[in-house]
Amino acid sequence: MSSILTNSSSMVALQTLKGINANLSKTQDEISTGKSVASAKDNAAVWAISKVMEADVKGFKGISDSLALGESTVAVARQAAETITDLLTEVKGKIVAAQEDNVDRAKIQTDIDALVDQINTVVGAAQFNGLNLVDGSNTTVDVLASLDRQSNGTVKTSSITVTAQDLSTGGYAASSIFSASTAGTISAAGDTFVTTLDATTGTDDITIANGGTWAAGDKVSLTLGDKTASYTVTANDLASASSTDDLVAVGLKNAIDSLGITGLTVDYDSATPGELVFTNTGAVDLSVSGQFKNAGSGGLGLLSTVDVSTAAGAATALGNIETLIQTGIDAAAEFGSAESRIDIQNTFVGKLSDALKAGIGSMVDADMEEASARLQALQVQQQLGIQSLSIANQAPQNILALFR
236-260 residue pLDDT tens: 988 888 888 889 999 999 999 999 9
Domain of 275? Answer: 190-296
Same domain, 163 and 201: no
Rounded Cα distance, 372 and 236, in Å: 77
- Determine, yes or no, domain membership for 285: yes
Supply the pLDDT for residue 184. 40
Supply the pLDDT for residue 202. 72
Which residues are CB-contacts of 87 (< 8 A; sequence separation ≥ 6)?
Answer: 115, 118, 119, 122
More confident residue, 320 or 67: 67
Same domain, 263 and 353: no
CATH code of the domain in which 133 resides: 1.20.1330.10
Burial category of 160 from C-beta neighbours within 10 Å (exposed 0-12, middle 13-18, buried 19 and up)? buried
**pLDDT class for 371, splitting at 50, 70, 90?**
confident
- Determine, yes or no, domain membership for 91: yes
Rounded Cα distance, 307 and 106, in Å: 9
Same domain, 152 and 63: yes
Same domain, 238 and 347: no
- Determine, yes or no, domain membership for 11: no
CA of 229: how far to CAs of 150, 166, 219, 226, 306, in Å? 45, 20, 11, 10, 21
Supply the pLDDT for residue 91. 95
- Determine, yes or no, domain membership for 79: yes
pLDDT > 90 in the chain, percent? 35
- Determine, yes or no, domain membership for 387: no
What's the domain count of the chain? 2
**pLDDT class for 228, splitting at 50, 70, 90?**
confident
Task: Say yes or no to pLDDT of 98 above 50.
Answer: yes
**pLDDT class for 270, splitting at 50, 70, 90?**
confident
How many Cα atoms occupy the beta-carbon half-sphere of 266 within 13 Å? 23
Same domain, 154 and 255: no
Same domain, 205 and 292: yes
Same domain, 53 and 161: yes
* pLDDT tens digits along 326-349: 999 999 999 999 999 999 999 999
Same domain, 248 and 288: yes
| Lowest-pLDDT range of 159-163, 182-186, 296-300, 342-346 | 182-186
CA of 77: how far to CAs of 224, 247, 394, in Å? 31, 35, 88
Task: Say yes or no to pLDDT of 181 above 70.
Answer: no
